[in-house]
Amino acid sequence: MNIVILTGAGVSAESGLGTFRDVDGLWTKYRIEDVATPEAFARDPDFVQDFYNLRRRNCAEATPNAAHFALARLEAELEGEVLIVTQNVDDLHERAGSKRLIHMHGELLKSLCASCEDRLPLKGEMPTSPCQKCGGGPLRPDVVWFGEMPYRMEEIWNALRMADLFVSIGTSGNVYPAAAFAQDAGRAGADTLELNLEPSDGASDFADARYGKATDIVPVWVEEVLSAS
Ligand code: NAD
């Protein structure tokens, strides 16, 4: 069996990293257009860097939860292929042990040189020095902002075409192109399953759904898939 799994902010919610819709979450204190667009970075780079430095600190304090660990177990134990495509910029899937993973919206823990596109691992604050490789810059977070193209889309669409099962976990389904993955995979013949706290905006695109907290429903689903395989 060949499974492609899309994850969103809901899978990391119980690790303490707020979703975009949490009533008192980080995102309610910032507007997208002030921190998550290339124009915002051009206008006020310090403000944008402060926001991502804060998110990086939050990420360092968070730990993977039972849903992350269950997905890593699925990959390790399933006779078949598991690919996780995540919209999350945190590193909780990696820390739980997932290996086949695409960060389609980039990674908090990398810097990207805006001039030469060199990427470097980054643990703490974004350095204010020029790029080590080209001497230019500026260095920016390696995250995909609104108006920019998500990463590795050809690879993702190919994987969706080959999938027997597409599962969407903890995502509201209102940001494209990820919001169209259920339809893309379904058209290519895959079964489709939504695992989310509540029906997402794209719920009608899925053949099947289970609703509840990720730490409850993901481990149960993984156990069922492994027992049936
Ligand atoms: P989201 O916040 O839009 O949706 C999170 C989903 O997770 C919701 O459907 C919610 O019901 C569900 N959820 C919450 N807690 C859960 C739990 N414990 N278990 C299971 N599900 C739970 O986040 P998203 O869908 O990942 O957003 C997609 C992309 O859109 C993001 O990667 C981001 O780039 C972008 N986005 C940005 C903003 C912003 O910048 N303000 C806002 C929305 C989306």
SS (H, E, C) 45-88: HHHHHHHHHHHHHHHHHCCCCHHHHHHHHHHHHCCCEEEEEECC
Handedness of CA 214, 71, 73, 189 (dihedral sign): positive
- Mutation pick for ligand 1 pocket among 54, 86, 171, 206 (CB with most ligand atoms within 8 Å): 171
Closest C-alpha to ligand 1, atom 38: 20
Cis peptide before 141 (omega within 30 of 0): no
Report CA(163)–ligand 1 centroid distance (Å).
Answer: 24
Q: What are phi and psi of 176, to 5 degrees?
A: -90, 155
pLDDT at 20: 80
Structure tokens at 9: 């902010």
Q: What are phi and psi of 107, to 5 degrees?
A: -135, 130
- Residues of the chain with pLDDT > 90, as a percent, come to 90
Where residue 123 falls among pLDDT bands split at 50, 70, 90? confident
pLDDT digits (tens, 9 = 90+) for 176-196: 999 999 999 999 999 999 999
Which atom from ligand 1 is nearest to the alpha carbon of 19?
Answer: 2
pLDDT digits (tens, 9 = 90+) for 136-173: 999 999 999 999 999 999 999 999 999 999 999 999 98
Numbered ranges of CATH 3.40.50.1220 in the chain = 1-16+64-105+150-229
Task: Indicate if ligand 1 lies below 6 Å from the C-beta of 148.
Answer: no
pLDDT at 181: 98
CATH superfamily of 18-61+107-143: SIR2/SIRT2 'Small Domain' (3.30.1600.10)
Closest C-alpha to ligand 1, atom 23: 9
Q: Locate tokens 């910029």: which residue?
A: 89
Query: Of the residues 68, 93, 103, 105, which is catalytic?
Result: 105
Q: Mean per-residue pLDDT for 95-123? A: 97
Whether pLDDT at 21 is above 80: no
Name the residue among 137, 54, 46 with its Cα closest to residue 89. Answer: 54
Closest C-alpha to ligand 1, atom 36: 20
The residue with greater pLDDT, 182 or 175, is: 182
| Helix 66-77 / helix 214-228 crossing angle, nearest 10 deg | 10
The residue with greater pLDDT, 24 or 116, is: 116
Burial of 229 (0-12, 13-18, 19+ CB in 10 A): exposed
Task: Indicate if ligand 1 lies below 6 Å from the C-beta of 27.
Answer: yes
Cβ atoms of 38 and 148 within 8 Å: the answer is yes
pLDDT at 86: 98
Architecture of domain 1-16+64-105+150-229: 3-Layer(aba) Sandwich (3.40)
Q: Is 105 in the active site?
A: yes
